[in-house]
Amino acid sequence: MAIKYPNGQPYHDSTQQPLPQKVTGTKPVQHGHRGMSLEQELNRANEFYLQRGIANIHKKPTPIQIVHVDYPKRAAAKITEAYFQQASTTDYNGIYQGRYLDFDAKETTSSTAFPLNNLHQHQVTHLLDTQRLGGISFLIIRFTKYQENYCVPINVINYFWERRKTERQSIPYQAVIQQGILIQPSIYPSLPYLEAVDRII
């Protein structure tokens, strides 16, 4: 099925990537989550939190408009073309410790900064509105070269966002280290991000 964004660009679902195969060798694996996408790790963490009654957080479904359907068999229908109806706000929302959480997850291959072109104005506005109304808003940013994940409050993101036209168009890695919260990897879940959220709350 071909699902496309409003601008016509094709959509690729990272959650459908196969899980990495077990690697054997002489060196021990230092990160159990290496090779798994950030989205996959967050989804598994959310399953863990839900099963244990810790939090109820889910990836938001995005409404699509079906454009074309094939009927290869009388009793079967196959969607062959569809478009997202509107630009999405953020990836995840839910409830934790009686507080509403709303956040997005981003990955960057840069070793020096998080490029702000990974964000959109409507996402920043949405997160700021959520915070203004009493919710907890943040980004989870992964620096893939370091296999480091940070929980970065929307206040920090917005500081650099407002200066992107007159100053740099990215958030320096050092600023993320200093003002974000490092998510320490674990065995299960491999990305226990709510431990970082505790420090924001």
In the chain, the domains with their CATH numbers are 40-61+87-200 (3.40.1350.10)
Element (H, E) at 147: none
Residue 89: the pLDDT is 77
Residue 63: the pLDDT is 55
> pTM for the whole thing?
0.73
Q: Is 41 helix (H, G, I), strand (E, B) or coil?
A: helix
Cα 90 from Cα 157, distance rounded (Å) = 14
Which letter does DSSP use for residue 97 in this model? Answer: T
Cα 184 from Cα 162, distance rounded (Å) = 29
Give the angle subtended at the CA of 103 by the CAs of 154 and 49, to the nearest 5°: 130
Give the angle subtended at the CA of 78 by the CAs of 74 and 79, to the nearest 5°: 140
Cα 118 from Cα 110, distance rounded (Å) = 12
Name the pLDDT band for 80 (thresholds 50, 70, 90): low
The mean per-residue pLDDT over the stretch 82-111 comes to 85
φ/ψ of 50, rounded to 5, equals -70, -45
Residue 20: the pLDDT is 36
